[in-house]
Amino acid sequence: MKYTLTALFALAASPALAASKNPFSPDFWSLSNTDLIVLIAFIIFIGVLIKFNVPGMISGMLDGRAEGIKSDLDEAKALREEAQTLLASYERKQREVQEQADRIVANAKDEASRAAEQAKADIKTSVARRLAAAEDQLVSAKDAAVREVRNQAVTVAVAAARDVIAKQTTAADANALIDDAIAEVGAKLH
- Which of 142-170 are b and which e, b meaning 16 or more Cβ less than 10 Å from the residue's Cβ? eeeeeeeeeeeeeeeeeeeeeeeeeeeee
Around Cβ 33, how many Cβ atoms within 10 Å? 17
Residue 53 DSSP class: T
In the predicted model, is pLDDT for residue 7 greater than 60? no
- Let me know how long the chain is: 190
Backbone dihedral angles phi then psi of residue 134, each to the nearest 5 degrees: -65, -40
pLDDT tens profile 35-49: 888 989 999 999 999
Evaluated on CA atoms 176, 178, 180, 182, the torsion sign reads negative
Q: Please, which residues have CB within 8 angstroms of residue 30's CB and are 6 or more apart in sequence?
A: 36
Task: Give residue-wise pLDDT tens across range 68-103.
Answer: 999 999 999 999 999 999 999 999 999 999 999 999
Contact 17, 11 (CB under 8 A): yes
Are residues 6 and 20 in contact, defined by beta-carbon separation less than 8 angstroms? no
How many H-runs (helices) and E-runs (strands) does the chain carry? Answer: 5, 0
Spatial CA neighbour of 105 closest among 119, 113, 91: 113
39 contacts 23 by C-beta, under 8 angstroms: no
Give pTM, 2 decimals.
0.39
Query: What is the tens place of the pLDDT at every residue in 43-67?
Result: 999 999 999 998 889 999 999 999 9
Query: Is the per-residue pLDDT at 33 higher than 90?
Result: no
> Half-sphere exposure (CA, 13 Å, Cβ side) for 90?
6
CB 16 within 8 A of CB 36: yes
CA distance 33 to 22: 12
